């Protein structure tokens, strides 16, 4: 793709999803059926993959027998753990058990609602949690949006609030913003309230957890993006036209920083006044209450404003 490359992790996620859509992908249960696995792998390798690898890319063909033996080895290890998830999930729902679904990546990387084509290959929005788990939408009790106190992005794609300066470098270093898979430095920018509001509405979020607020402790002034301007028009949400989003101008509000450590805060009152005002302004912009605030990297470093989210038995 050259300059139009997407900036993916190069771990084969896109090709795997392509195989799924083409109905030639392998499901975990296929490992339990050796004869079926042999027949299917023979077709996929011989009729689909190797012709592309050899004729288009001029590379060495895949070894069918070696692949089969490798994955049959995995099958012997994984076999006791492969189960039909439908009765497990539905049984838990029937018994009234707590089920927590954690989404990866972000709304703006959603295949349909993100900054296409600079997106992942799936739907990491709340709707994707339902299709991925088999839990019906009517059984979801609460959707919580997870935001950092600033914005980050890995790879290419539009990023209106990006900080390509010393402030961005400082946030990146203090927040340890480097890709988990690739180790690449994440792009860093001011909190994008327009994206936050968009994410809250797309996901139906009723609650927000704001992480890494302590990373902003030392800043004298903090900016929040409230929308964009493009060709004289004001936008309060990310534009669907990717070129417009790339070339728009963010509209900012400036708030004074608190310039003291919040690592030891455990209650709302423990947070500095300017810190609380920053959170409250974000609540107003994104349209959902911030019920959980991360004030440090440890699991015990957070401020809980809504106690019913975490009953005592759940925290034990």
pLDDT confidence of residue 2: 52
What does the pLDDT read at residue 4?
57
Q: What pLDDT is recorded for position 310?
A: 66
Bridge partner list, 11: none
Residue 316 near residue 234, CB atoms below 8 Å: no
Q: What is the pTM of this model?
A: 0.89
- CA-closest candidate to residue 17, choices 173, 109, 165, 122: 122
Residue by residue, pLDDT tens for the chain (316 residues) are 555 556 666 678 888 989 999 999 999 999 999 999 999 999 999 999 999 999 999 999 999 999 999 999 999 999 999 999 999 999 999 999 999 999 888 999 999 999 999 999 999 999 999 999 999 999 999 999 999 999 999 888 999 999 999 999 999 999 999 977 778 899 999 999 999 999 999 999 999 999 999 999 999 999 999 999 999 999 999 999 999 999 999 999 999 999 999 999 999 999 999 999 999 999 999 999 999 999 999 999 999 998 777 655 443 3
User: How is the chain split into domains, by residue range?
Assistant: 2-82, 84-141, 142-315
Are 148 and 210 in contact by the 8 Å Cβ rule? The answer is: yes
* Residue pair 307/223 in contact by the 8 Å Cβ criterion: no
Backbone angles phi, psi at 191, to 5 degrees: -60, 125
For residue range 214-241, list pLDDT tens digits in order: 999 999 999 999 999 999 999 999 999 9
What CA–CA distance (Å, rounded) separates 202 from 118? 18
- Answer for the pair 160, 108: CB distance below 8 angstroms, yes or no: no
**Strand segments (E) across 38-149:** 144-148
Positive or negative torsion for Cα 85, 206, 258, 171: positive
- The architecture in CATH of the region 2-82 reads Orthogonal Bundle (1.10)
What is residue 8's predicted lDDT score, i.e. its pLDDT?
67
- Separation CA 160–CA 96 (nearest Å): 43
Q: Give me the pLDDT at residue 105, please.
A: 84
- 40 alpha carbon, distance to own chain's centre: 33
How far, CA to CA in Å, does 287 sit from each of 103, 249, 281? 20, 22, 10
195 within 8 A of 151, measured Cβ to Cβ: yes
pLDDT at residue 11, rounded to an integer:
76
Specify the pLDDT at position 313: 42
CATH of domain 142-315: 3.90.170.10
Cβ 229 vs Cβ 265: under 8 Å: no
């Amino acid at each position: 793709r050259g300059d139009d490359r997407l900036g993916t992790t190069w771990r084969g996620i896109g090709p795997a999803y392509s195989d799924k859509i083409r109905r030639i992908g392998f499901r975990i249960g296929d490992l339990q059926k050796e004869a079926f696995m042999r027949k299917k792998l023979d077709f996929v390798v011989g009729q689909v993959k190797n012709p592309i690898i050899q004729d288009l890319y001029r590379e060495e063909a895949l070894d069918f027998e070696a692949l089969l033996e490798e994955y049959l080895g995995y099958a012997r290890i994984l076999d006791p753990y492969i189960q039909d998830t439908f009765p497990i999930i539905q049984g838990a729902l029937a018994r009234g058990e707590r089920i927590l679904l954690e989404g990866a990546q972000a709304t703006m990387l959603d295949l349909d609602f993100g900054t296409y084509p600079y997106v992942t290959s799936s739907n990491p929005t709340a709707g994707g949690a339902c299709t991925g788990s088999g839990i019906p939408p009517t059984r979801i009790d609460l959707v919580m949006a997870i935001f950092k106190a600033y914005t980050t992005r890995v790879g290419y794609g539009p990023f209106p609030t990006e900080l390509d300066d010393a402030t961005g470098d400082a946030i990146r270093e203090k927040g340890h913003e480097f890709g988990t898979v690739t180790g690449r430095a994440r792009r860093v920018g001011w909190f994008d309230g327009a994206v936050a509001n968009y994410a809250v509405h797309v996901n139906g979020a009723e609650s927000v957890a704001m992480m890494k607020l302590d990373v902003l402790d030392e800043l004298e002034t903090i900016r929040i993006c409230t929308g964009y301007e493009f060709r004289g028009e004001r936008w309060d949400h990310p534009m669907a036209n990717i070129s417009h989003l790339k070339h728009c101008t963010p509209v900012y509000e400036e708030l004074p920083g608190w310039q003291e450590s919040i690592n030891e805060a455990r209650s709302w009152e423990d947070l500095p006044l300017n810190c609380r005002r920053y959170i409250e302004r974000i609540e107003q912009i994104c349209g959902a209450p911030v019920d959980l605030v991360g004030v440090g990297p440890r699991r015990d470093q957070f401020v809980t404003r809504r106690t019913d989210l975490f009953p005592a038995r759940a925290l034990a």
